[in-house]
Homo-oligomer: A and B are copies of this chain.
Amino acid sequence: MQTTYLLNGQPLVSSQSGANHFGDGLFETIAIRQGRPCLWQYHLDRLHQGCLRLGFPVIEVAQLTAEVQQLCHSRPRAVLKIILSTGDTQRGYQRAAGIAPNRFVQCHPWPDSPLYQTPSPSVSLQLCQTRLGCQPLLAGIKHLNRLEQILARKEIQPPAVEGVMLNQQGQVVEGTMSNVLLWRAGTYLTPPIVDCGIAGVVRQFVLDQAVQQNQTVHQEVVSLAMLRQADALFILNSLLGVRQVVAVGEHVYPSVAMPTFLQRIHQACFIPN
């Protein structure tokens, strides 16, 4: 007796139904400029951390880099997505022995939305009711269990383009697709990514550049009150770079210029490697 399948009522001839995923995998979303990836080493580093955490084999960097070049070399501006996923497995949670996750490399057109064009518009956020669960084993890495983000994204209504997500204790963690960076009295604050959230590559780039450029960025628990009391608020994301936030819900931030440090970070986010 074989396994038989119906997809939306139609027989499937292959066992590769593609549906038997448990979100057992990792992904990266990367800006492409002049045919080459931006912040490439940061994305590779996070993918590597994810492989260690999920028990995947170490990625073969030369092979992956060659595949990215093959797909992207003719694209002046594009979005690269890399997915490592165990994909269709046997029924049940046990991975097949000697697991080698499938490696998907996709090159998408750069988004048409005004949000992604230059000059960069400021953005409005809203507070999401969907909170992040506490799971230290999966915090930081960009894994494929993203139901929380999907539920949070459903909440967002224009003019907001992004949502602020809290943890179970009501502390600010991140956006649905970005990290947050507060500016207050000349120093920067960003929530620690320990129990939940994704350690974004732009966030890590900010932390590293701050050390080199004599700027102070504290990783510190951020309350909603602190978020509202900030002199300025920014979101960070590989495709958005650094974006200034004009409002979170009803709360409007004072109109201040983006600090030179962050302007430079934003530009550097789109320098191809």
Nearest 5 CB-CB pairings of A with B: A18-B18, A23-B23, A133-B135, A22-B146, A145-B145
**Cβ–Cβ < 8 Å partners of A16 in chain B:** 18
**Cβ–Cβ < 8 Å partners of A54 in chain B:** 147, 150-151
Once the chains bind, are A19 and B87 in contact (CB under 8 Å)? Answer: yes
Once the chains bind, are B71 and A23 in contact (CB under 8 Å)? Answer: no
Binding site for B on A (CB under 8 A): 1-9, 12, 16-25, 29, 54-55, 63, 67, 70-71, 75, 78-79, 81, 83, 85, 87-88, 91-95, 102-109, 130-135, 137-138, 143-154, 168, 176-177, 196
Q: How many copies does the complex hold?
A: 2
Q: How far is the CB of A126 from chain B (nearest CB, A)?
A: 14
Once the chains bind, are A93 and B153 in contact (CB under 8 Å)? Answer: yes
CA distance A30 to B132 in the complex (A): 31
Q: How far is the CB of A192 from chain B (nearest CB, A)?
A: 17
Once the chains bind, are B168 and A6 in contact (CB under 8 Å)? Answer: no
20 intermolecular pairs with C-beta atoms under 8 Å apart: A1-B78, A3-B107, A5-B104, A5-B105, A6-B104, A6-B106, A9-B67, A9-B103, A18-B19, A19-B102, A22-B147, A24-B150, A55-B151, A92-B153, A93-B146, A93-B153, A94-B153, A130-B137, A133-B134, A138-B147
Once the chains bind, are A23 and B105 in contact (CB under 8 Å)? Answer: no
